[in-house]
Chain A
């Protein structure tokens, strides 16, 4: 078949299509967003598979689970912190009798390029006791995705594909294979395998534990976990996982003696192969992108005979991404000299776009809140988090999707008033709504400001799950008092008037909600471009692919 240049995300998307995918669900999140975006375009051009954005990662995973329940192949995609949101259905789905192949793609972000932490999803796969595949390049991403669906059906478990930013957002040529047909629809014959009442759940949990031996035997024998022992040298053994293999291969030719070498691309860990390597050498260097998952298990509590070096031992930085140079240093090779620069260059941090409505909203909020220097302003995940930086300095927290609302409630109840929460429209629909219900029930003394730019701007302008008009109805329907609910136009010309409306609501000793509406400037620009392609100026990929 043909070759195609694909991002890591796209290689997975196409691998899923060629594996007979029936449906895929996701919530946008860097670096996973391009996966579903690719499927949406593919589906439009080919009439399938079904691909849809969802309210959040939990609903995305549950919808994928339903497709599997119907005997067909499904995929859910999310960034690493999204799996925290979807953890409930994910962990439990390991206990059900998966019939149609179910693949969870999680894109981790070591180095936190666009995230609030660098958690390593391999811990989740281990926690759920399922198989995880970790591709190291685009070709593997494509092939492993196809295989993951087969493994899911063979072992009746969801299978995780763990990606990292550098693969998700790196492009290379992929060799494609013939596509497989979709599964026919088939309802599970025995519903006890899907009904996790305690009695059934205990049986299913025991079954999952019994099947661990099968997963291990797969991992010990599969080609993804390849061991090469150097019979002539016993000093160094290297274990790489995922992307670390690339950096090792980049440097290995500069070593005078080739070390014994094990690559791990499939989990559970191939313990026998690891024992063989560790037994053969004096020192083991563990190179893994992410947290010291393998190293920690390898190290255990009692010191093993071989010396182990890795992130936990301090031989490799405990945080951040791996690079060819970090691996080079860990292998004892000198770093090549680049060109030195004598002066310190100022950083250029990201910032709100020129004309961004969030900037106008923040200016109005700052004017409104001026008389209350002790006010708490909690905020959330999105472009508007940049309001923490100069020149705005308008917000004081950013923790996870939806946290602003609950945190403002808690702060207010602890006596820190006035309390203001700032959240974007899509983040509010993702997981702010439930906390607002709490605030309505308690009529908490707080003000919720929803910055409604009518899109999911941060990840490139995906549509929100509900349009603005319905967002307003939803808030009123929750029981927010109409006299303390305002919809304002976030235009600079209304700035002082907006501030005049916001201030008394901050002063009000109960719950108030303000929606500040104006379309994202980037989304508006893209819409104009689509309408008048002939007059459009040069578009850059950077502008359409955030």
Chain B
């Protein structure tokens, strides 16, 4: 089994948290993991991406090859589309519908979403709305983990365990919000 995920978003959206929670959960199930991140200048308000690779065998490359990702998990629609050449024809783009418009030439949102809907396999959820309902818009990234969890080869309760662990230091309310966001995201993906 090999499951390559491209996690995309804009600097500050929490793509690294998304990757490390999925990575930790995968390792707890005995999978090998490689998680290649972007730090430094490119992260300042720009597009960010993590290459997250899961496998039941040792993994050589830190980077994902073209046409071989099982999933693009995107917290921002434009950033998700950017990595389509890496998505396997059987793969799924899981994206939030909420744009981060911090560039002057941001495309028309509806056209972007339509492109995503027309892909062979895609899941679109309104991450921000669900996060707000769960307690904080900051939990949008966990809504997206929830939506992705429908497809990930990892048990949802294991992911929840690492959400708990990851946010444990920030108090019970923050943990609760993020767990709620994860569950609501999972629910929303089911309805798509």
| Chain B: CB-nearest residue to A382 | B41
Query: How many residues of chain A are within 8 Å of chain B by beta carbon?
Result: 60
Asked whether any CB of chain B lies closer than 8 Å to the CB of A487, the reply is: no
Contact A546 B12 (CB under 8 A): no
Task: With a 10 A CB-CB cut-off, give which of A337, A349, A538 has the most chain B CB atoms.
Answer: A538
Contact B60 A245 (CB under 8 A): yes
Asked whether any CB of chain A lies closer than 8 Å to the CB of B141, the reply is: yes
Contact A541 B16 (CB under 8 A): yes
Which B residues are in CB contact (< 8 Å) with A460? 39
Q: In A460-507, which residues have CB < 8 Å from any B CB? A: 460
Residue in A246, A336, A347 whose beta carbon sits within 8 Å of that of B61 in the complex: A246
Contact A114 B39 (CB under 8 A): yes
Residue in A5, A339, A353, A537 whose beta carbon sits within 8 Å of that of B174 in the complex: A537
Asked whether any CB of chain A lies closer than 8 Å to the CB of B154, the reply is: no
State the majority secondary structure of interface residues on A. loop
Per-position 1/0 for B35-46, Cβ under 8 A of A: 111111111111
Which B residues are in CB contact (< 8 Å) with A340? 84-85
Contact A341 B167 (CB under 8 A): no
- Known: A339-B89, A350-B44. Is A542-B84 also a contact (CB below 8 A)? no
- Known: A345-B78, A348-B78, A350-B11. Is A324-B41 also a contact (CB below 8 A)? no
- Known: A336-B65, A338-B86, A538-B139. Is A250-B60 also a contact (CB below 8 A)? yes
Q: In A244-291, which residues have CB < 8 Å from any B CB? A: 245-247, 249-250
Which B residues are in CB contact (< 8 Å) with A524? none
Residue in B23, B41, B47, B89 whose beta carbon sits within 8 Å of that of A113 in the complex: B41
Interface residues on B, range: 35 or more
Contact A541 B46 (CB under 8 A): no
Asked whether any CB of chain A lies closer than 8 Å to the CB of B82, the reply is: yes
Residue in A328, A339, A543 whose beta carbon sits within 8 Å of that of B119 in the complex: A339
Which A residues are in CB contact (< 8 Å) with B91? 339
Residue in A173, A328, A339 whose beta carbon sits within 8 Å of that of B87 in the complex: A339
Q: In B12-60, which residues have CB < 8 Å from any A CB? A: 12-17, 20, 23-24, 27, 32-48, 59-60
Residue in B20, B86, B136 whose beta carbon sits within 8 Å of that of A541 in the complex: B20
Contact A351 B46 (CB under 8 A): yes
| Chain B: CB-nearest residue to A250 | B61
Which A residues are in CB contact (< 8 Å) with B35? 170-172
Complex CA gap A459/B10 in Å reads: 18
CB distance from B13 to the nearest CB of A (A): 7
Chain A residues within 8 Å of B, Cβ to Cβ: 5, 7, 30-31, 33-34, 113-114, 166-167, 169-173, 243, 245-247, 249-250, 323-325, 328, 335-341, 343, 345-353, 383, 386, 390, 458-460, 533-534, 536-543, 545-546
- 10 further A-B contacts with Cβ under 8 Å, apart from A247-B60, A537-B138, are A170-B36, A172-B33, A246-B62, A249-B60, A338-B66, A339-B87, A390-B104, A540-B15, A540-B141, A542-B17
- In the assembled complex, 15 residue pairs joining A and B whose CB atoms fall closer than 8 Å, in A order, are A114-B39, A114-B41, A170-B37, A171-B34, A172-B34, A172-B35, A246-B60, A324-B64, A338-B69, A338-B88, A460-B39, A538-B174, A542-B16, A545-B37, A546-B40
